[in-house]
Amino acid sequence: MGLEHLANALTLTNLALALFGVVAGTVIGSIPGLSATMAVAVLVPITFSMAPASALILLGAIYTGAIYGGAYSAILLNTPGTPSAIGTTFDGYPMAKRGDGDLAVAIACFASVFGGIVGALALLLLAPPLSSVALAFGPVEYLWLSIFGLSLIASLSTGNVLKGLAGGALGMLLSCVGVAEISADIRLTFGVSPMIGGIEVVGALIGLYCIPVLIDLVATPERHLKVEQGVRAVRVREAALIAWRSRLNLLRSSVIGTVIGILPGAGGSVAGLVAYSEAKRTARPDQKFGDGEPDGIMATESANNATVGGGFIPTLVLGIPGTPPDAVILGALLVQGVRTGPTLFDGGGSIVYTFIFGLFIATILMLPTGLLIGRYAYKTIVTIPKTILVPAVGFMTIIGTFAIRNSVSDVIIMIVLGSVGWVLSRFGFAASPIVLGLILGPIAEQGFVQAWIIGDATGNLAGMFFGRPISLAIIAFTILSLVYPVIQSRRAKRTLATQANLND
């Protein structure tokens, strides 16, 4: 972990690969449906002839760029470019609607760079000890982790919590369509063969977030986004000051993203939602999350970019992919003959540390690159006529959904879900709880069934579900996330009542 590895990362070739990877990843990630996994997978073949360290730097740069790129469409179109940007829509799009889309893009860039650096720093300093945490997670821990994620619906539901819980239940029901995770039973297909493959999460996400926006764009004559005195440049200084004032939120969210990234299968979407919920829980009374609050964007973007470095910890140390893009990168390394695992840091230390420094460089390059691309993306979205914007976005959603599994059925399901989502939004049901249930449903089901089988086989069901220390800690956090909003609401009511009495 010396200067020679930093010097290797700073060679002209590796710098060029890092820059190209960040640009390519950002552009691909900004297109709805083209996830970070797809961005990495599309460009993997060009790495086969490279040195292992250079290949890792390129793939890591593509990955981190794609995670950030998803914020563009989340902010400007209310459509997450990648699943990790779900939470960015909560406050990013309201900011864009009131004319602060340029500021939101800059805030997302600063938060992404900060989170990426924290994740890379954890990878550099804590990889071997932190990787053991991932091994301690069994099926029952993933069950309780998914239930903890579902408990966040209470925090994410603005207004009616019951409607949020109903949306989460609908999402979990939709996740049951198709072949069961463990038993391979075919469920809820109603005899329609294309439904056997289940509802593709990214396609459903595109439909639930994008189709309602397109319908509203067609139905309303006003401009898509407010523009004040022409189009301004991205507000870098203002965004930097806001980020500095919220540095504790950035640090907390980045740590959350790193820790969740270490857990195989959790990913940036879960990290972003958990960080958003925690930022909302600790918010000041004057902060209105869900109504264009910059701290909401910073929490989500710093957390989901921190999962990049966190996800590489189990990937490189244990050979267990932390996130889906890590699985693609792991495959690319195996093609080159690099064997990941506990001995990699000893036998292949030069490759690992050169890559880690390269990841730092790619993350830093994301700041000027992201701001520059964000400036032109913002200008394009706010000035383009609706007659061009709606067909273009509609075309991208169809192509993005089709490209995931090359399935026309996925496109039809996406359009149907989007139309249903638009109708539900008229009655006060938000898309976020539905998406959360859809993502976490399979994790909860698989964890429950596996834990039940193990507990039944050992004759200790209660001990299996409630006797493990990590499980008990997650259960405690789940109870806290459910009880705290109620306590906070009652406290706010008492404060208002006290103020009213004093005014009288």
Q: Higher pLDDT residue, 292 or 209? A: 292
Tokens coding 238:
């203002």
Give the pLDDT confidence score for residue 378 in this predicted structure.
63
Whether residue 106 contacts residue 117, with contact meaning beta carbons closer than 8 Å, is answered with no
Paired with 349 in beta bridges are: none
pLDDT of residue 302: 92
Residue 274: pLDDT band with limits 50, 70, 90: confident
Q: What percentage of the chain has pLDDT greater than the value 70?
A: 83
User: Could you tell me which residue, 387 or 302, shows the higher pLDDT?
Assistant: 302
Q: In angstroms, rounded to a whole number, what is the distance separating the alpha carbons of residues 264 and 443? A: 11
Which DSSP state fits 385? Answer: -
Q: In which residue are the tokens 């989460």 written?
A: 168
Tell which wins on pLDDT, 222 or 158.
Answer: 222
Which of the two residues, 483 and 113, has the higher pLDDT score? 113
DSSP structure string for 176-195: TSEE-TTT--EES-TT-GGG
Average pLDDT of the segment spanning 313-325: 72
Confidence at 230, pLDDT banded by 50, 70, 90: very low
- Segment 149-153 mean pLDDT: 71
Total-model pTM: 0.70
Q: How far apart are CA 254 and CA 260, in angstroms?
A: 10
Work out the number of other CB atoms within 10 angstroms of the CB of residue 400.
Answer: 23
Q: How far is CA 377 from the centre of its chain?
A: 20
State the pLDDT at residue 391: 84
- The torsion angles phi and psi of 384, rounded to 5 degrees, stand at -70, 135
Cβ-Cβ contacts under 8 Å for 430 (sequence gap 6 or more): 156, 157, 158, 163, 164, 167
Give the pLDDT band (50/70/90) at residue 231. very low
Handedness of CA 269, 382, 369, 25 (dihedral sign): positive
- CA-to-CA separations, 14 to 56, 57, 269, in angstroms, rounded: 10, 7, 29
- Contact between 439 and 201 under an 8 Å Cβ cutoff? The reply is yes
Q: At what angle do helices 161-175 and 431-458 cross, to 10 degrees?
A: 60
Q: Over pLDDT 90: what percentage of the chain?
A: 9
Question: pLDDT tens across 416-453, in order?
Answer: 998 998 898 888 887 778 877 887 788 888 889 989 99
* Range with lowest mean pLDDT among 180-194, 210-224, 343-357, 487-501: 487-501
SS (H, E, C) 425-471: HHCCCCHHHHHHHHHHHHHHHHHHHHHHHHHHHHCCHHHHHHCCHHH
| For residues 27-54, average pLDDT | 75
Mean per-residue pLDDT of the chain: 80
Mean pLDDT of 353-368: 88
On the question of pLDDT at 100 being above 90, the answer is no
Give pLDDT, residue 159. 56
Confidence label for 237 from pLDDT (cuts 50, 70 and 90)? confident
Q: How far apart are the first and last CA of the chain?
A: 67
The pLDDT of residue 381: 65
pLDDT at residue 86, rounded to an integer: 81
State the Cα–Cα distance between residues 127 and 131, nearest whole angstrom.
6
Give every CB contact of residue 335 below 8 A, 6+ residues apart in sequence.
Answer: 48
pLDDT at 252: 92
- DSSP SS3 for 340: coil
Per-residue DSSP letter, 467:
S
As a whole number of angstroms, the distance between CA 274 and CA 260 comes to: 9
Does the pLDDT of residue 324 top 80, yes or no? Answer: no
Q: CA nearest 332: which of 28, 43, 21, 15?
A: 43
pLDDT at 501 (0 to 100) = 67
Between the CA of residue 262 and those of 91, 134, 238, what are the distances in Å?
27, 6, 33
Spatial contact of 29 and 325, defined as CB atoms under 8 Å apart: no
Lowest-confidence region among 9-13, 342-346, 396-400: 342-346
pLDDT at 43 over 80: no
pLDDT higher than 70, residue 322: no
Locate 278 and state its tokens: 């925690």
